[in-house]
Structure 1
Amino acid sequence: MTELMLPELGHYALILALVMALVQAVVPLLGAQLKMTGWMSYGTPMVWGQFFFVSVSLFMLGYAFVTDDFSVAYVASNSNTQLPTPYKISAVWGGHEGSLLLWVWILAAWSFAVTLFSRSLPEDMLARVVAVLGMVSVGFLSFVLHTSNPFNRILPQIPREGSDLNPLLQDFGLIVHPPMLYMGYVGFSVAFAFAIAALISGRLDTAWARWSRPWTSVAWAFLTLGIALGSWWAYYELGWGGWWFWDPVENASLMPWLVGTALMHSLAVTEKRGVFKNWTVLLAIFAFSLSLLGTFLVRSGVLTSVHAFATDPERGYYILALLAITIGGSFVLYALRAPDIKAKVRFTWMSREAFLLVNNIMLVIVMATVLLGTIYPLILDALGLGKISVGPPYFNALFVPLMSILAVFMGLGPASRWKNTERSTLIKRVWLSAAISVVAGAALPFIMGGKWNGYVFLGMMLALWIFLTQMRDIADKLKHKGWNVKGLMSLGRSYWGMVLGHVGAVITVVGMTLVANYTQELDARMLPGSKVTMGEFQFELTDIRHVDGPNWTAEQSEIRIWEGDKLVSVLYPQKRRYTARNQVMTEASIDWGLFRDLYVAMGEPLEGGAWAVRVQHKPFVRWLWIGGVVMTLGGLLAAFDKRYRQKAMRQAGVTVQATESENKDTGAVTGASA
């Protein structure tokens, strides 16, 4: 086989993967329904084969990029001989076709992981889960092969040079952000598969919740990290210095995260107390459906965004049909099975179950407001009723108060007990935390800015409230265990994962509050030798020179930052011109720290050799992403709790439940939201 035929090998591997996905979707499911062990066993080898062939396909596309095979249309559109090799590799998912292939590969990898780490599941349950994942794989592999084939050729006139990768994507962010985000998006397909398999079998018990929880936690952790990386990437790459723009594609990742957060907590209550079964199944369906909706928004051409991949309506129709089949089929199955699912456990409205339910409902309401603001302009446009823009004023006006209510119940969750909590007991456990939060929250605006600021008071008060109630809960749990390693370890990884999730949320809220209210920025006209002052810092432009990169040229300025007589930093912002596309980009330069960033970006050239320069001081902006990383670690830690490594009994009708002591120690989830 000649090297010229390698793209055909990648295409052929995708076809074989589709055939295996079809077998995976049908045979194990029939085997489970007909109780035929031989047919059920088909699932695992089909998953492994599919993973192998999709991996071959992804490798072949990567090889085409590295070797500058411009006979492949996708490579010619997204690469160039001058493109640095790391960006050639990440360019594999830098456009629609390749990013969709990465999506399919990650789906195959998740399926492979399920067969590898879920062998202790009852055979019929595993067969159904694998079959549902096979159905999802069939849908996306068909999408790739019919509308988005990355191996289409340009023959016989092969271009000598490629068009180059979009300059916005020539960054480290492209290497890490899409894979992490897709790991989260696609990971919810596993929670979806477990929910559908449980509905088909009628086995909506605590064992099902336990099987599904670690997979959901890992998917949520990756999605959290992906969103944080996307915010960080946009912050330094776009040159505006913002960290969230309420862009429709940003919203597309936020919506499944909100529902996924609710799903994690609902699964915990279902496992611990045997309640919320119907609600938990609905959340699993919603989480994956919203991931598909995000795919539709990015790839349908219905919106314009710096994050959007495609503008081909045919692709949008295909994903819309897939979305309709997924949601429609799931709801039909749910309608048939839900009446038979009843929880016999009772609880009062002053209980941990009730507070968790309120927070779940609030998370769904927040998701619905974001969804409405995202799709309402699209619906009006589609109906020919005009074009409108829904921006930050709408989202902030609704998001902030709703999340504030959510934060209140986040603090009440750890302070409450299962089944019922006496009002006097609850007040006794929270009054000191509430008092400290209000007093300290009221003082901080004066300490930070010298005057009253209602938003800072609200944000800092709620952050302190969540943190202090969480610390009180830890203290209560260690009262009889002791503040030592043994006592700390006895609480379990699931509990500490929850703690990290809540602490990460606190760190993020602090970062959001302070950077949103205390950012300073200044636009100035600067010549070499000129200075501008902003707060306690002085910015001096000392030089402007021409520099050449591998596939770009730039005007680079040297800016010295002084704090009094002390030289704080020297920054080198650039205005780049990418030669292949003749596209101009702003490359900001940042002096970053734990408590503040100094951000400098070059604007447009002005008369007389001057430049427009934007300087910004951003307090605590890094806390946004530090909080995201801490939440990610919390999700991963909870997923690897040793309780989930217990072998589930295979006998029919037997469920695996945690021992009373395990449940008491780990407490499943004692907060209300992460």
Structure 2
Amino acid sequence: MALVQATVPLAGSAWRRPLWIAFAQPMAWGQFAFLVIAFLSLTASFLLDDFSVAYVAHNSNSLLPWYYKFSAVWGSHEGSVLLWVLILSGWSFAVSVFSRHLPRDMLARVLAVMGWISSGFLLFILLTSNPFARLLPNVPGDGSDLNPLLQDFGLIVHPPMLYMGYVGFSVVFAFALAALIGGRLDAVWTRWVRPWTNIAWAFLTMGIALGSWWAYYELGWGGWWFWDPVENASLLPWLAGTALIHSLAVTEKRGTFKNWTVLLAIFTFSLSLLGTFLVRSGVLTSVHAFANDPARGTFILILLGVTVGVSLTIFALRAPRVHSASGFGWLSRDALLLVNNIVLVIMTVTVLLGTLYPLLLDAMDLGKISVGPPYFNALFVPLTALLCVFMGLGPLARWKRMPARELFRRLALSALIAIVIAAVVPSLYGGEWNLGVSIGLLLALWLVLSLIRDLLHRTRPRRGDSRSRSAPNGAERAAAVKKLAPAYRGMVLGHLGLAVTIVGVVMVSNYSAEQNVRLGPGKHVEVGGYRFTMTDFNERRGPNYVADTATIEVTPPGRNTFFLYPEKRFYLASGMPMTDVALRPGFFSDLYVALGEEVGNGDWSLRIQLKPFVRWIWLGGLIMASGGLIAVLDRRYRRRASSRTPTASGIGEDASLNGLQGEGAP
């Protein structure tokens, strides 16, 4: 079905055969239906403890709770690839259902491109990664168990969210290639692709935030980002996707950046495939990676090479026909978004080089090196600061051109307030002024205050309004806010979420307190003003493990006493030990206690950490993701294709583009 979806509709759109074009949708539906059946079959094998299936025997156990048996379906390589292809077919199904307003030939080309991607991954499963391989007739009596690191709620929610984002960019990629093949790079095409980009970006944002949260409490180290190569593999398409979202906005509003937008769409999905290669090729050693035989890595590398090569070839052949008639001044929203894109691409290349350079050296037998946080922090942090500066300027700038004096007038008060608050708050919070915290707060406040200034400007009465002579009251402001387009509201939430994340990052990075202590029953220690007393220590039996559990009485300054229960678990089937962290979460601070090893005389080592504002990191991610989803609700994305006016370049332009030029501009 995937092969028919990939070939017949594409040929039909080229030779104008309506019957062939009509094959696209039923093939997408059928493929999705049968992959759902395959996935449910594998899930049933786990829930029924069918250890004749090799994948189940290697990743499950009869003692494993049912909810971990369910998440174990995608807990290792074969099942995760099946989930990948299932989600891809789900995206194809969604495109076929929710894009019926597209011209039939355009929809056929989009689904055909997605069919080619699906064909490649289905072939990958059949040749190298069959999750239904049997162990007949030597069926084991029980399974080897799921990796204890994966026996957590995080495995249930994190990979599906991440895959929804990874695979969702295949839709954007398919639209870009379909537009190049059909010669339709206009504002209508941009409006078609923007909601799919926003949805994929929102899922990827949520997946990355959930992965950071999972690593924070599950690994027992207390860190929220380790610059692990597999973590970087998810960050790369997120950075490119963020640039793509901004580039699409310019292409829709002004008709510029067309080639750049298509190129970003190609690179974003290519980086998603690169992440898939890194995780499943066995070239990385990571708690997140699946170590596999070289054949699998080779297959994905070939698939990546073919995808990138074919798409760039089509781009090279078609791009010269695309021209942008609109120009813009050096101080305009167009220019600021261009700088925004350039900075994001530089950030992407920085992370890409730091991730791949050690692998390339090792592959060429030129030695082994490690690229860690010092490299990434030294380059990524200043680039983020530069990005925030232009993000604050962008919402208040006009399209095409704007006098510098007017932009300065709009932002002077916001900048002054941000500087004063950022200079004062670190001294009040930490008792000692901190340059890093001050700069981080300055950037966050700059983003927030520029958004507030823009909101006030957009919700004030316009000239000619009878109310324009007096300041609007609260009800009038609220009514004006409700009239703002969902796309604008999504942008506000996206920028606000980044500001919240920046506050969380700078506060937890500079004000965290950590201490390794020795504690036994009846003994106490003080850390960061908290008094920790071990009142009991006993053994507890879980469904598939035994655990040494410490009871820690915590007395915070001026507040009620509470108890924490850190554990050291020993999983029976695999024989692996595991630390289960005790957390006291809070909006402004987390208390984090990890139980270490026994050190003699009944004493145990404990790692106690105070993590201020750490939850703001993930709160910001959720706010950004919600902004991406809200932007999809914009009604103009669901308009039917309007008439097209041919241009001198031969590429169609949307006749309603002029009506959109001023939308969203101050």
Q: Quote the residue 1:39 is aligned against.
A: 20
Q: Which residue of 1 aligns with 2:629?
A: 636
State the TM-score, normalized to the length of structure 2. 0.96
Q: 2:543 aligns with which of 543, 550, 559?
A: 550
Which deviates the most, 444-453 or 85-94? 444-453
Equivalent AA in structure 2 for residue 421 of structure 1: M
Matched, 1:152 2:133: yes
Partners of 2:558 and 2:10 in 1: CA distance: 74
Provide the C-alpha distance between the structure 2 equivalents of 1:52 and 1:565, rounded to a whole number of angstroms: 59
Query: Contact 2:643 / 2:655 at 8 angstroms: preserved in 1?
Result: no
Q: Which residue of 2 aligns with 1:487?
A: 480
In the TM superposition, what whole-angstrom CA distance separates every residue of 1:517-560 from its partner, at most 9, and x where no partner exists?
A: 00001100101111111122111111111000000000000111
* Partners of 2:97 and 2:655 in 1: CA distance: 22
User: Are 1:507 and 2:488 an aligned pair?
Assistant: no
Cα deviation digits, residues 12-52 of structure 1 (max 9, x gap): xxxxxxxx000000000000011111111100000000000
For the Cα contact (< 8 Å) 1:590–1:599, is it kept in 2?
A: yes
- Hey, what does 1:520 align to over in structure 2? 513
Q: Which amino acid aligns with 2:264?
A: L
Shift of 1:485: 3.8
Superposed CA deviations along residues 142-169 of structure 1, whole A, max 9, x for unmatched, are 0011100000000101000000000000
2:529 corresponding residue in structure 1: 536
Q: How far apart are residue 471 of structure 1 and its match?
A: 0.7
Deviations 1:300-349 (A, max 9, x none): 01110000023221100000001100111111111111111110001011
Do 2:644 and 2:655's aligned partners in 1 also have CA atoms closer than 8 Å?
no
Q: C-alpha separation between the residues in 2 aligned to 1:471 and 1:660?
A: 28
Q: 1:623 aligns with which of 612, 616, 619?
A: 616
RMSD value, Cα: 1.4
Cα distance, 1:449 vs structure 2: 1.3
Give 2:274's aligned residue.
293
User: 2:203 corresponds to which residue?
Assistant: 222
Give, in whole Å, the separation in 1 of the partners of 2:497 and 2:444: 10
Q: Where in structure 2 are the equivalents of 1:444-463 lying within 5 Å?
A: 444-463=425-444
| 2:465 counterpart residue number | none
Q: Gaps (5+ residues) in structure 2?
A: 463-471, 647-651
Equivalent residue in structure 1 for 2:283, among 302, 305, 310: 302
Number of the residue aligned with 1:204: 185
Task: Measure, in 1, the Cα distance between the counterparts of 2:351 and 2:551.
Answer: 42
Matched, 1:423 2:404: yes
Secondary structure at 2:323's aligned position in 1?
coil
The CA deviation at 1:138 is: 0.4
Match of 2:105 in 1: 124
Cα deviation code 1:553-594 (max 9, x no counterpart): 000001111124643421111000001011000000101111
Aligned to 2:247: 266
CA drift at 1:650: 7.7
Cα displacement string for residues 111-159 of structure 1 (whole angstroms, at most 9, x for unaligned residues): 0000000000011110100000000000111001110000000010100
Tell me the number of residue pairs that the alignment of Structure 1 and Structure 2 aligns.
649
Distance 1:212 1:539 in 2: 55
**Would the aligned equivalents of 1:122 and 1:650 in 2 still touch at CA under 8 Å?**
no
What is the deviation of 1:470?
0.9
Tell me, yes or no, if the aligned pair for 1:214 and 1:638 is still in contact at 8 Å: yes
Aligned to 2:565: 572
Q: 2:34 aligns with which of 53, 59, 80?
A: 53
Q: How does 1:71-90 map to 2 (within 5 A)?
A: 71-90=52-71
Residue matched to 2:259: 278
Tell me, yes or no, if structure 1 residue 339 matches structure 2 residue 320.
yes
8 Å contact kept, 1:490–1:665:
no
Q: CA deviation at 1:439?
A: 1.7
What residue number does 1:115 align with?
Answer: 96
**Distance of 1:529 and 1:115 partners within structure 2:** 65
Q: Report the Cα offset of residue 486 of structure 1.
A: 2.8
- Residues 644/565 of structure 1: CA separation in 2 closer, same or farther (3 Å cut): closer
CA contact (8 A) 2:642 2:656 kept: no
Q: Which runs of 5+ in 1 are unaligned?
A: 1-19
Query: For residues 431-450 of structure 1, what are the structure 2 equivalents within 5 Å?
Result: 431-450=412-431
TM-score by length of 1: 0.95
Checking the alignment, whether the CA contact within 8 Å between 1:120 and 1:649 is kept in structure 2 is no
Is it true that 1:325 corresponds to 2:318 in the alignment?
A: no
- Distance in 1 of aligned mates of 2:557 and 2:409: 50
1:359 and 1:662 mapped to 2: Cα distance? 22
> Deviation at 1:666?
3.9
Counterpart Cα distance in 2 of 1:151 and 1:346: 57
Contact map agreement 2:64 2:544 (CA 8 A) in 1: yes
**CA distance in structure 2 between the partners assigned to 1:661 and 1:544 by the alignment:** 71
* Structure 2: distance between partners of 1:560 and 1:487: 52
The aligned counterpart of 2:158 is 177
Equivalent-residue separation in structure 1 for 2:658 and 2:610 (angstroms):
52
Over the matched positions of the two proteins, sequence identity in percent amounts to 59
